């Protein structure tokens, strides 16, 4: 029982040190009101420093600046074994540009709720492993794909490719579930790409991997 | 405490409003150094450092000449490869002066949110001859895109914590994070400040896609 108590006390002290520093640092000094009245307009770039202002300021609080250790940000208790490099390599066939790939990987593994990051990574990594166990099905035929849109408001959206994520979702595999062009097909695509970007991108990446997995399985079957 | 010219604090605040805390600190300290040498710089630090932590930091490095290394832009330009639109959050004129001329082909915006000082944004922007455009918080989406980047100034890294302009926290909501390809922190101090970082707010290093130094090692 003693150990946790000591730990709690330590955490409290840490919080206290910051609060104490804030308390020692006055929020506003009486001389701040000087800023509200009219003051000479100078352009620091043109005249350099002008030190000739009249000021009532005297430094009445020289000890106001006190050292304080910033708090570490809150961290989830259970660390996830997320390998951004591994996911990046998996996505390379669909996103050739390294920086664009890093953007998509960040959205999937560093944005959204903690459990989504873990779930998306587990599913994508395992799908990737399944794909890698099968021989390539031959050169990519540039099958039909659909854009994953950024969630921008309508007035900001129409800017071509910059309003889309750099990952496009392969749609060939979805034809196994509904005929292309049907309302059902479109509804499936919409369901996969709806929602927050981390979710939509993970879905799109999974469908790309499943599409490739099915191609390789069919090629193996001959 | 008698050597400091009257009004030096007010002059610093006016300068900081339009040059940024770092640029203003260097300007003030340069002038004071010319007037009274290192003792006057030390006096300015003792008198104003507690209220202006960036000035305190710059003064602490002044004597050693550690703050006179040139601003290194190349790593940042590398991070901006392929970016067509850059929105800057925060104001540090020396750094923007070094960066802006090298951003050919990139549309650059400056978020017109001050750090609590009275900033005349028209005058700030006039210094860049139309290279920088004003942007408000309501226009964040207009600057977003898969080839867009957000950049803010970081005032020292301390473990997993950094100090940034308050506007950065208003900008960086969960939605916005996925609307910009890069979320870049550009560290202008190279070390944590020694006094409590008032004027600034704390953020996590994990919030950036890249954290770059503006100083050569």
The values of phi and psi at residue B93, to 5°, are: -65, -40
User: Looking at chain A from residue 119 to 148, which residues have their Cβ under 8 Å from any Cβ of chain B?
Assistant: none
3-state secondary structure A121-157: HHHHHHHHHHHHCCCCCCCCCCCCEEEEECCCCHHHC
Whole-angstrom Cα distance, residue A60 to residue A26? 11
pTM of this structure:
0.78
Per-residue model confidence as pLDDT tens digits over A117-149: 999 999 999 999 999 999 887 656 668 999 999
* Nearest CB to A156 within list B15, B142, B177: B142
In sequence order, the β-bridge partners of residue B28 are none
What are the chain A neighbours of B56 within 8 Å (beta carbons)?
65
Q: Give the pLDDT confidence score for residue A47 in this predicted structure.
A: 46
Higher per-residue pLDDT: B136 or A151: B136
- Read off the tokens for A1: 């029982």
User: By C-alpha distance, which of A113, A105, A112, A102 is closest to A82?
Assistant: A105
The values of phi and psi at residue A56, to 5°, are: -90, 0
Distance from CA of B36 to the nearest CA of A (A): 13
Q: What ipTM was reported for this prediction?
A: 0.81
Per-residue model confidence as pLDDT tens digits over B124-157: 999 998 999 999 999 999 999 999 999 999 999 9
């Amino acid at each position: 029982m003693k150990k946790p108590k000591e730990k709690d006390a330590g955490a409290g002290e840490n919080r206290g040190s910051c609060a104490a520093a804030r308390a020692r640092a006055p929020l506003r000094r009486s001389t701040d009101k000087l800023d509200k009245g009219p003051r000479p307009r100078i352009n620091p770039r043109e005249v350099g420093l002008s030190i000739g202002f009249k000021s009532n300021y005297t430094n009445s609080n020289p000890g106001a600046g006190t050292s304080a250790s910033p708090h570490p940000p809150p961290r989830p208790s259970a660390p996830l074994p997320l390998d951004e490099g591994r996911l990046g390599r998996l996505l390379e066939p669909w996103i050739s540009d390294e920086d664009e790939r890093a953007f998509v990987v960040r959205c999937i593994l560093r944005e959204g709720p903690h459990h989504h990051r873990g779930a998306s990574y587990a599913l994508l990594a395992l799908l990737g492993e399944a794909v890698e166990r099968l021989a390539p099905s031959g050169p990519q035929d540039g099958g039909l794909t659909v854009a994953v849109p950024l969630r921008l408001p309508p007035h900001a959206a129409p800017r071509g490719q910059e309003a889309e994520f750099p990952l496009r979702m392969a749609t060939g595999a979805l034809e196994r579930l509904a005929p292309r062009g049907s309302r059902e097909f479109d509804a499936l695509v919409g369901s996969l790409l709806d929602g927050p970007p981390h979710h939509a991108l993970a879905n799109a990446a999974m469908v790309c991997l499943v599409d490739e997995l099915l191609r390789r399985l069919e090629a193996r079957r001959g | 405490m008698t050597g400091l010219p009257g009004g030096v604090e007010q002059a610093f605040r006016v300068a900081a409003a339009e040059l940024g805390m770092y640029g203003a600190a260097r300007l003030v300290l340069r002038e004071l150094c010319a007037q009274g040498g290192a003792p006057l710089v030390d006096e300015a630090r003792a008198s104003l450092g507690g209220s202006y932590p960036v000035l305190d930091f710059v003064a602490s490095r002044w004597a050693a000449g550690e703050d006179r290394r040139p601003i290194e832009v190349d790593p940042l330009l590398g991070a901006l490869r392929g970016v067509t639109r850059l929105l800057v959050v925060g104001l540090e004129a020396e750094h923007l002066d070094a960066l802006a001329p090298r951003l050919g082909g990139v549309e650059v915006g400056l978020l017109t949110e001050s750090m609590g000082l009275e900033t005349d944004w028209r005058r700030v922007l006039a210094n860049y001859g139309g290279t920088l455009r004003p942007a408000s918080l309501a226009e964040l989406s207009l600057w977003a895109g898969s080839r867009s980047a957000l950049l803010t100034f970081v005032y020292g890294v301390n473990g997993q914590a950094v100090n940034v302009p308050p506007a950065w926290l208003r900008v960086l909501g969960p939605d916005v994070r996925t609307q910009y390809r890069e979320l870049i922190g550009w560290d202008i101090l190279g070390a944590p400040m020694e006094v409590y970082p008032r004027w600034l707010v704390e953020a996590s290093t994990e919030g950036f896609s890249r954290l770059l130094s503006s100083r050569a090692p």
